[in-house]
Amino acid sequence: MEPTETTVPVCYRHPDRITGLSCSRCGKPICVECSHDNSVGQLCPECAAPSGRRQVVQGRQIYGRSTFQTAPVTFTIMAITVAIYVAGMLSAELDNLLFQNLAQANWLVAAGDWWRIFTAALLHGSLVHIGFNMYALYLFGPRMEQQVGSPSFAALYVAAAGAGGLMSYLLGSIEQVSIGASGAIFGLFGAWIFVAWKLRHTPGGRSMFRQLFVLLAINVVISFTPGIDGFAHLGGFVAGIVIAALWSVLAVGKPNAVGIRTAIATAMIALELAAVLLI
């Protein structure tokens, strides 16, 4: 028997990207960036082009109905964060204990409590505060988790939270105390901004970028509101963009893409921890 030669499928538009996806209509192999969601499955850009009254939803669309089964990390983070807030509401003593041990008090970070740049994301000061952040997580999180994988998403969230805490620690007052998941949320926001920029040459990408740009402008204004930790927003946002950019260069199309993405975001976490310990 003669040996048979096997070929690894690659995206027909990006030959350097190995993929397991294919167009449901014409059968051509496509990568995630070229994939468009449709009622019949995933379509390549040519087959996804609107025809008549048919409407195609972009594969990178942010919003969509999600459940715990499709985005377990997102919903777990939401559940833990809400549970901590409710527990604090029910017990003033527990609320005080959580605040003393998890809030980012910069003078305590300087004294060696490095974990506070991460754990501050679990605490919120009001119903409006936690409501806004958890609603934003619900909007931005599930679709990102589905696209990059749950381990990668978890690492991204922690890395963005840590980057926000680190920026707040480095640029904020030593007497400053910060709580909230805004840094992590802005990290997801930054990652989506990068995705939209990458897809800016497609109709869906341009529309997404415009919508996100408007949201960014609104949140920049909010960041300068008294009592808001704008440095945490900035740190998380920059981390989200950097991680998404590295994912785009090093992980897209690779067979072990989820592992590579997770390693990149975990490396960011390690750098944040090293910065806190060394400064």
User: Known catalytic residues?
Assistant: 182, 233
Whole-number Å distance between alpha carbons of 187 and 10: 30
User: Is residue 120 within 8 Å of 178, Cβ to Cβ?
Assistant: yes
Whole-number Å distance between alpha carbons of 198 and 157: 21
9, exposed or middle or buried, with CB in 10 Å at 0-12, 13-18, 19+? middle
Whole-number Å distance between alpha carbons of 29 and 172: 49
Quote the crossing angle between the two packed helices 257-278 and 230-250, to the nearest 10°.
Answer: 140
End-to-end CA distance of the chain: 65
Whole-number Å distance between alpha carbons of 97 and 103: 10
Whole-number Å distance between alpha carbons of 66 and 146: 9
Whole-number Å distance between alpha carbons of 16 and 200: 21
CB atoms within 10 A of CB 23: 23
